[in-house]
Structure formats: C-alpha cells, structure tokens
Amino acid sequence: MRQQYLDFLNREPDAAGLNFWVNNIDVCGADVGCREVRRIDTSAAFFLSIEFKETGYLVERIYKAAYGDDTRTSGHRRTA
C-alpha cells in the first residue's frame, strides 16, 4: 500500500491511512490464501477511495480533457 501512495499520490502515506489499508490485509493473520485475496481486493479498493479519486485520478481526467478522449481509460492503448 505504501507503494501505491508513492506511485499514485506522489507522497508517503499518513499513518492512519496506511494502517487502514494494511489492517484490511492483516485480518487474515497467517492464512496465505486469504492474504493474497485481501491484497488484491485492498489494492483495488484504493483506486475507489475518495482520496485517490480527488488526487491521483486527476491525472486521468486531465489527460482526457487535454486529448479529447473520454471513451478510454489510461489502461487502454490504441493500436495501429
């Protein structure tokens, strides 16, 4: 989760925010299968968070506004 803060919000996570996300994973204890699923779910939930939508997602919206392409997300690329 720390890496997502660095990559998408360009900052270190605040303690409370990081603890919230990490606790979503740590509820599994030593159950490896549970932890794997919770890591994926928690990572996905990060992108639905208000903080991401109001900050990190701004880049996506600027891209769409600048290039006039509101039909794709940044994960899709055109092929020639």
Rounded Cα distance, 49 and 61, in Å: 16
- The predicted model scores a pTM of 0.61
* pLDDT per residue rounded down to tens, the chain (80 residues): 899 888 888 889 999 989 999 999 999 999 999 999 999 999 999 888 888 877 766 666 777 778 876 555 555 444 44
Q: What are the extents of the domains in the chain?
A: 2-67
The region, left, alpha or beta by phi > 0 then psi within -120 to 50, assigned to residue 79 is: beta
Both tokens of residue 35?
């932890």
Angle between helices 15-26 and 32-46 (to 10 degrees): 140
